[in-house]
Copies of this chain bind each other. A is one copy, B any other.
Amino acid sequence: MKKRIGILTGGGDCPGLNAVIRAATRSAILQHGWDVVGIEDGYQGLYERRVTPLTINEVRGIITRGGTVIGSSNRANPFKYPVRMPDGTEEVRDVSKEIMASIRDLGLDAIIAIGGDGTMLMSQGLVELGAKIVGVPKTIDNDLRATDVTFGFQTAVEIATEAIDRLHTTAESHDRIILCEVMGRYAGWIALHAGVASGAHVILIPEMPYKLERIVDFIKARKTAGKSYSIVVVAEGALPASGDHAVAIKGDETMQDRLGGAADRLARELVKPFGEHDVRVTVLGHVQRGGTPCAFDRVLATRFGAHAVTMVAEDKIGHVASLRGTTITSAPIKEACAKLKLVDPSGPIASAARQIGIELGA
């Protein structure tokens, strides 16, 4: 049966979004002969009924591009929608019925929703109201249980690794302690992978609140052994063991956080024992989540996009695409997004890091 499907992207930027859109569009058209539309700016566009046709021409060349050609939205939750009132104020409302009506009126037989656990949970809510939605999991932080790996993550790791590679020679030439802050508010996957890949000496992640003395002792021991420089990779959510971890977990990502970021906070502590001329901070920030995806992520995203179409064809509604080993499979949204996939401090990657002598601070 010829279908008409919509594709939407929700949440933050992530290299590979366009590769998913392209693969889903091509597969729907070339393999099934379906019509495809892009829903603009995530669930906001669905509410406002803004769609744009996606053809083979429209998705040409986008596999290499960062961002999302159909736009995204961070705030448009069908169940808590910020509706603009005539007087200019905003009011949060449940617009799920309006959105169900949009789906019907736009003639969408199914929707492929690409997004993080927020977008997935909204989608599940709509599925329970009868919407035909399948999901493609997206998080740069790799912290979704849905899948072994998410696209975008490896790109972030490659970018961070290349940057830390460059910090090595300077740190070594000038006997410096260089802190490099990488993404990861709740999960330390990027820090751990980039730190291992780049030969970092210390890696600090949110899952393992650090003891400052351990770090200081470790760096001092290196100095004693004649290595007067150190590279410390700090996840943005890394916190001291004594700190109020709960606060950070609850807090939103704000400017204040950035200005008093994890690396700057630690730098201020390290200045005391090591002297301020020796400590330097690099904050990679959004450099890690923009731009062209690495080949690994393009392949993964392409496979997810093609699989999403298969899920629609096979009526796997309420499921997300998932990589398990070398195979793409499907998992129920509910299971997949129930809990964040955090680094296990005694799991394989953290253990490998410890085995080769990397200090994890805890």
Contacts and interface: CB of A to CB of B under 8 A. Distances in A.
A148 interface: yes
Given A13-B169, A199-B61, A296-B154, A348 B328 contact: yes
A298 B165 CA distance: 12
Contacts of A355: 23, 26-27, 30-31, 306, 309-310
Contacts of A66: 166, 168-170
B67 A173 contact: yes
A286 B166 contact: yes
A110 interface: no
Interface string A48-78: 0000000000000101111110011010000
A209 interface: no
B169 A290 contact: yes
A319 interface: no
B256 A276 contact: yes
A295 interface: yes
The winner among A256, A277, A291, A357 for most chain B CB atoms within 10 A is: A291
A326 interface: yes
Interface in A178-229: 178, 193-194, 196-199
B298 A196 contact: yes
Contacts of A163: 287
A234 interface: no
23 contacts: A22-B356, A30-B355, A31-B357, A61-B168, A61-B199, A64-B199, A66-B169, A67-B172, A158-B295, A165-B290, A166-B287, A171-B286, A254-B276, A254-B277, A255-B276, A255-B279, A256-B276, A259-B264, A259-B281, A282-B283, A306-B355, A309-B355, A328-B348
